[in-house]
Every structure is written in structure tokens, then in C-alpha cells.
């Protein structure tokens, strides 16, 4: 990795270590116990209703039962909500995160729920310590867009997957209300932030960690960008998801005129302009 990226990567790792991702807008005390972990799970489900079929986080997007006895790599695990689901469904799971705190929390989560200690290690997804063709399935939820060399991480995922192996990821959608309206127009233009900040700095400031002054690196991608970045895979499906809240809150959350739009129109707009890209690829 070139020196500039290496320095940024260190800053990214240190920031996440200081600010473990707990699905809360405020800085929350991290007290690893049953209530803490189940609160993270509840918040995940609340933030991502489109990903749920039942009360297991991401049950609407991942058929956990099909992963029994499969080798699963869970990239950038945060507090380990997804790692717990893979393990509970009998997958042979390896968890990695660049933040030692995240790995510690994931191990503590397993201990808290009396699950066997998982294989969980501090590792960089841009340079993974695994042999070629190791895994059947990889999850990369909300993380590839925080890495300086996202393309390298994607090449690594391709390398460590078995032929026919699959990966699913969530990344932020550039062609979204979130980016173009709430960040670029509202903060950048109307509040004049683009006079002193670059578009990249705006993205870092007003996405994850917004109440902590922003994080070190958050990138937005269009569907076209994604298709290009994952073009080495045999297939790549990209879909847009969100709640209708960003539309309800138009033009401003204190003047939520968008909420009076017909629900079918809101659902239509959400499918085009939602914040999350759900990416499924097969090697």
C-alpha cells in the first residue's frame, strides 16, 4: 500500500478502535454484557428494517440455514452481531476487523452468550492472512467504503473465495438523497461547507460518527462504480435499499412534507435513491 494510504489506514483503524460501531448516534458506553449486545442487535434491526425477515439481524438478506457447515468469513465485524448469527447457524466462521477493540468485543459477545470462542482476529481486509480459495461465503457489511484501497479489498475477497463462492456487502449509494440532498446540497452548498471542505471531507464528516465530528474515511459509490469494481466476479447483483424516512423528511426533518406523498411513490423513490447498496457477487 502506498504511504499516503498506509497513513490513512492507520488513522481509520485508530478511529474505529476509539469509536466502536454500536448503532447509536450518540457516543455510547461500551459495557459488554447481554443488554449491551442485544441493544446493538435491536438497533441494527431498527435501522435496517429492509434487511429483516425475523428478529435475527439480516435474516431477510442472508439465508443463514444454507451456511451450515460452510466456511464463512465475516469482514469488519464491529461488535460481532453477524458473526454470532453465522456461528449459531453452524457455519465455520472466521471474523476479522482492523480494530482490536472490535475483535475483543466479538469474543466477549460469544462469551456473554456461552458460545464457543470464535476464530476472530485483528486483520486488514486489504491484505488478508488467508490462503486462496478458503471460504464459501464472505460478508462485508458497511466496511469496504471505509478502506483507503477498496479495490484491493475486493481483489482480496475474490482471492480468498472458493470458485463458486459468494460475497454479500453493504456500501453507501452515491446516487441517493442522503448524499446529494442531505450532505452535498444541504451542508455543502446551502450551509457553505464546500467553501472550506472537499466533497470527501463532507462525506467523512456527515456519515458515520456524525456526533463525534465525523470519521476518517467514508466513500459513496454509484451502482455503475460497483459493477465495475466487482467485474472480476462471474455475477454481480446490486440493489438499493432504505427506509422511507429520508423522503418523509423532505425538505427538512422539522418540515416533513415528504410524509404526505403516497406510500407507493415513496417506495418507488426509495428503490432509486435509498442510501444502501446491497451487493451480491459470485466467483
Ligand X SMILES: C[S@@+](CC[C@H](N)C(=O)[O-])C[C@H]1O[C@@H](n2cnc3c(N)ncnc32)[C@H](O)[C@@H]1O
78/67 Cα distance (integer angstroms): 21
Q: Which of these segments, 75-83, 160-168, 199-207, 228-236, binds ligand X (CB under 6 A)?
A: 75-83
Residue 32 in the binding site for ligand X (CB under 6 A): no
Provide the minimum distance between the beta carbon of 260 and ligand X in the complex, in angstroms, as a whole number. Answer: 33
Query: Given CA atoms 166, 275, 82, 46 in this order, what sign does their dihedral have?
Result: negative
Only one of the segments 140-148, 190-198, 233-241, 256-264 lies at the binding site for ligand X (rule: CB under 6 A); that segment is 140-148
Q: Using the minimum distance from each CB to ligand X, give the nearer residue, 147 or 269.
A: 147
Task: Give the C-alpha separation, 211 to 256, whole Å.
Answer: 22
Q: Least Å distance between CB 54 and ligand X?
A: 18
**Does 16 interact with ligand X (rule: CB under 6 A)?**
yes
Least distance to ligand X, CB of residue 153, Å: 6
Binding mask 187-226 for ligand X (x = CB under 6 A): ---------------------x------------------
Residue 146 in contact with ligand X, rule: CB under 6 A: yes
250 makes contact with ligand X (CB under 6 A): no
- For the purposes of burial, counting CB atoms within 10 Å of the CB of 226, is it exposed (0-12), middle (13-18) or buried (19 or more)? buried
CB 78 within 8 A of CB 20: yes
Burial of 137 (0-12, 13-18, 19+ CB in 10 A): buried
Closest distance between ligand X and the C-beta of residue 70, in Å?
19
- 128 touching ligand X, by CB under 6 A: no
Strands (E), the chain: 71-75, 92-97, 119-122, 135-141, 161-173, 220-221, 235-241, 251-252, 255-256, 276-282
**Residue of the chain from 61, 98, 103, 160 that contacts ligand X (CB under 6 A):** 98
Closest listed residue to residue 161, CA positions, set 232, 252, 218: 232
Q: From the CB of 232, what's the least distance to ligand X, in Å?
A: 19
Residues that bind ligand X (CB under 6 A): 12, 16, 21, 75-79, 96-99, 102, 124-126, 141-143, 146-147, 208
Amino acid at each position: 500500500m502506498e504511504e499516503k494510504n498506509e497513513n490513512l489506514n492507520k488513522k481509520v483503524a485508530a478511529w474505529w478502535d476509539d469509536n466502536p460501531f454500536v448503532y447509536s448516534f450518540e457516543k455510547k458506553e461500551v459495557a459488554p454484557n447481554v443488554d449491551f449486545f442485544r441493544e446493538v442487535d435491536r438497533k441494527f434491526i431498527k435501522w435496517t428494517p429492509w434487511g429483516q425477515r425475523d428478529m435475527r439481524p439480516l435474516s431477510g438478506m442472508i439465508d443463514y440455514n444454507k451456511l451450515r457447515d460452510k466456511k464463512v468469513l465475516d469482514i469488519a465485524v464491529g461488535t460481532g452481531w453477524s458473526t454470532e448469527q453465522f456461528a449459531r447457524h453452524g457455519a465455520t466462521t472466521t471474523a476479522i476487523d482492523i480494530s482490536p477493540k472490535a475483535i475483543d468485543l466479538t469474543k466477549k459477545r460469544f462469551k456473554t452468550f456461552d458460545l464457543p470462542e470464535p476464530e476472530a482476529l485483528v486483520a486488514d481486509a486489504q491484505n488478508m492472512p488467508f490462503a486462496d480459495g478458503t471460504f464459501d461465503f464472505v460478508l462485508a457489511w458497511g466496511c469496504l467504503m471505509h478502506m483507503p484501497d477498496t479495490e484491493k479489498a475486493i481483489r482480496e475477497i475474490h482471492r480468498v473465495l472458493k470458485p463458486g463462492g459468494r460475497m454479500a456487502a453493504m456500501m453507501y449509494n452515491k446516487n441517493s438523497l442522503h448524499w446529494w440532498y442531505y450532505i452535498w446540497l444541504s451542508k455543502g452548498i446551502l450551509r457553505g461547507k464546500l467553501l472550506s471542505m472537499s466533497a470527501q471531507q463532507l462525506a467523512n464528516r456527515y456519515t458515520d460518527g456524525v456526533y463525534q465530528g465525523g470519521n476518517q474515511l467514508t466513500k459513496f459509490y454509484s451502482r455503475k462504480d460497483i459493477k465495475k469494481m466487482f467485474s472480476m466476479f462471474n455475477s454481480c447483483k446490486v440493489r438499493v435499499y432504505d427506509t422511507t424516512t429520508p423522503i418523509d423528511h423532505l425538505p427538512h426533518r422539522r418540515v416533513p412534507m415528504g410524509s404526505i406523498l403516497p406510500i407507493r411513490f415513496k417506495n418507488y423513490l426509495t428503490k432509486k435513491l435509498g442510501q444502501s447498496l446491497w451487493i451480491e457477487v459470485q466467483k
